[in-house]
Amino acid sequence: MSQKTLTGGVGATKDITVTVTPDGAPQAVEAVSSDESVATVVKKSDGVYTITNLAAGTATITFSTNGISSTLAVTVNAG
């Protein structure tokens, strides 16, 4: 995942693509929001996760697999 920050308004959604390397490595990725009242994350399809902004504030989305993690800092602006 090359994107490290995401900023948007309440109600906005964004699809994020997460790629696990090297080829052949297990692709099971866990995605968790630090504050689900601000932003949620759900798996859309293999390697694609949808972030939904729910309320003004900040949250960190953590993607992890095989003991390795990457984070996405989400800032949601009030309408």
Residue 27 has pLDDT above 80, yes or no: no
1 band by pLDDT with thresholds 50, 70 and 90? low
Alpha-carbon radius of gyration of the chain: 12
DSSP class of residue 24 equals T
Residue 28 has pLDDT above 90, yes or no: no
Chain segment 29-69, per-residue pLDDT in tens: 999 999 999 999 999 998 899 999 999 999 999 999 988 89
Strand boundaries in the chain, DSSP class E: 5-9, 13-17, 30-33, 39-45, 48-53, 57-65, 68-77
